[in-house]
Amino acid sequence: HAGPQAALRLDARASNVRGAFESARLDAETIAVVDDVMTSGATLREVAHCLCTAGAKDVHCWVIARTPRPQTRHAGALSGVP
């Protein structure tokens, strides 16, 4: 069982979910995975990897919403100075 993703930095999320999912053997099936909100994509990547390893022919990941990608800010914006 993986811990909550929300509290983790983006670069730590992939290792948090690695090996967290299992699947029964799939017989070259096409699978659709639906996620409500995608942040880093780590969970979807790990689920897709698990399903492909189990024998899925294709995995389609559908996302309802995506969080904005982090933007690089200059030092003034980080410190509250315009």
Condensed to tens digits (0 to 9), the pLDDT of residues 58-71 reads 999 999 999 887 66
What is the pLDDT confidence band of residue 55, given thresholds at 50, 70 and 90? very high
Per the listing, tokens 């942040």 go with 39
Q: For 30-77, what is the HEC assignment?
A: EEEEEEEEECCCHHHHHHHHHHHHCCCCEEEEEEEEECCCCCCCCHHH
Q: What is the pLDDT of residue 72?
A: 53
Condensed to tens digits (0 to 9), the pLDDT of residues 10-24 reads 778 888 889 999 999
